[in-house]
Structure 1
């Protein structure tokens, strides 16, 4: 494709031609427009078992998730992939396939499903008001527990090699879930917010849970991200250092000085190729070094 932005319909057609017409992860979120075709990464599903699955939640509901793993073999390290605020759209599905291509079982649950289809919402303000703020952290923790149980139940993933990664909203969740689940070996948080205003649905921020971390966390942040000031990043560093928790002490934060928020989102203008590629290498190395492989 050429370097110009292309239409949403063209993106949809290209994705479906490559991946089929599964309901989840084949289109981009409307609120994430316009799509940057010249930098967008498309990971094909050849050699993979990839597509939509149904996860039974603790409250008895059916939650869709996008899952990708090698087409043959067993005992794969397991990565829970947590969505951006835009939901489980084509970029998040592609992240799952990228993990699968290097031998992981990766699964991204639709954590907003009780509120509707976030990918169909056309503005960020509505997403924040009707989806993000209305999705309790406790519910998210339970749904991720259900997703991990589903992965174990499929018989292909090794549940003792469990990691989590998340982007934007999901980056914050990666910190929190690491503190929630004792089975987590390691986490990678991509530009996850560190200073939400506390509420009934979001009572804690990552600095509040450092003493409860179970696996070491790699935080990847942009130095030019106005939504996550460097003062917050430094506060998080200090909290990790002073926690007295070995997992927190082993955790690391890496800042890309000139990178904005969402620097890994290759379909958006915020994408920064050098930072994204370096972050991906660090992510894979982190999981390997900490037993998620």
Structure 2
């Protein structure tokens, strides 16, 4: 079952929407699904639906609401890809993390689910790392996260488990950045990195040309096992 929820910001003076997918019974835990630069589109909603099928309460907040509420873009349509890149350039990531934190609080307070994880893709992968470092989320997963080399100074604040899936031939994350991620995080007791040689950015998308079935199935299986272990 899915619905749209309204979540108050941490300051309480504004609100934003979120797509919510509910499991058939009592949730085993909750997972915040963090969007790509394309908004809460059909692919992100499908990620939520799949998590609900696995017994989780899945919530995807509209993080671009300050720029254009409810926007949905298709990466396979060039003008929409360009629009998405423009939005990413305008997006305030620090505010985005606070909205993710507000979503975590809403889940625990309004939904009564104590254990909350997060999973993000692309920009959302970066935000998943930031969520692990800046909030009390219980576990987090980032797919093909961008610009993590510039966030390594925050790694000391990661107190709960974090998994990152790295596309080996990522057009947005070069080899030098991938090396920096390994050098900075391989010895972190809470962080696990998985490499996917030959795969490009977006390989685990639900729909569209970017998907690689084999890589997506492997990464999603690892994610499912990770959340099963760390979210009780």
TM-score greater than 0.5 by the shorter chain: yes
Per-residue deviation, residues 157-183 of structure 1 (Å, max 9, x unmatched) = 2x2x221110011000000110001x2
- The structural deviation recorded for 1:156 is 4.5
Deviation at 1:126, TM superposition (A): 2.9
Q: Distance in 1 between matches of 2:179 and 2:171?
A: 14
Cα 1:120–1:262, aligned 2, differ >3 Å: closer, same or farther?
closer
Whole-Å separation in 1 of the counterparts to 2:26 and 2:141: 25
The structural deviation recorded for 1:118 is 2.9
Deviation at 1:120, TM superposition (A): 5.7
Find the aligned partners of 2:111 and 2:67 in 1 and give their Cα distance: 30
Q: Where does the alignment leave 5 or more consecutive residues of structure 2 unmatched?
A: none
Q: CA-to-partner distance for each residue in 1:211-263, whole Å, 9 max, x for gaps?
A: 11121211112112121112211211111145xxxxx3231111111211100
Question: How far, CA to CA, are the matches of 2:178 and 2:119 in structure 1?
Answer: 18
> Residue 151 in 1 paired to residue 104 in 2?
no
| Residue 215 of structure 1, aligned match among 147, 160, 167 | 160
Which stretches of structure 1, 4 residues or more, deviate above 4 A after TM superposition? Answer: none
> What secondary structure is seen at the aligned counterpart in 1 of 2:170?
coil
Q: 1:178-205: per-residue Cα shift (whole Å, max 9, x none)?
A: 0001x22221100010258xxxxxxxx3
Rounded Cα–Cα distance in structure 2 between residues aligned with 1:65 and 1:221 = 27
1:101 aligned partner: 53
Structure 1: how far apart are the matches of 2:59 and 2:147? 24
Cα distance in structure 2, aligned partners of 1:119 and 1:185: 29
Instruction: Give secondary structure in 2 for the equivalent of 1:281.
Output: helix
Conservation of the 8 A alpha-carbon contact between 2:8 and 2:15: yes
Q: Using a 3 Å threshold, how does the CA distance of structure 1 residues 134 and 217 change in structure 2: closer, same or farther?
A: same
Q: How many residues align?
A: 226
Q: Which runs of 5+ in 1 are unaligned?
A: 1-48, 197-204, 243-247
Secondary structure (helix, strand or coil) at the match of 2:140 reads: strand
Q: Secondary structure at the match of 1:283?
A: helix
- 1:123 matched to 2:75? The reply is no
Between the aligned partners of 1:68 and 1:156, the Cα distance in structure 2 is: 15
Q: Give the secondary-structure state (helix, strand or coil) at the position aligned to 1:123.
A: helix
Contact 2:31/2:57, CA 8 A, preserved across alignment = yes
Rate the CA distance shift 1:256–1:164 in 2: closer, same or farther, 3 A: same
Distance 1:220 1:167 in 2: 10
Q: CA deviation at 1:149?
A: 1.5
SS across alignment from 1:66: strand
Partner of 1:138: 94
1:252 aligned to 166, 185, 192, which one? 192
Indicate if the aligned counterparts of 2:38 and 2:73 stay in contact, CA closer than 8 A: no
Query: Which of the numbers 219, 224, 234 marks the counterpart of 2:169?
Result: 224
RMSD of aligned residue pairs (Cα, Å): 1.9
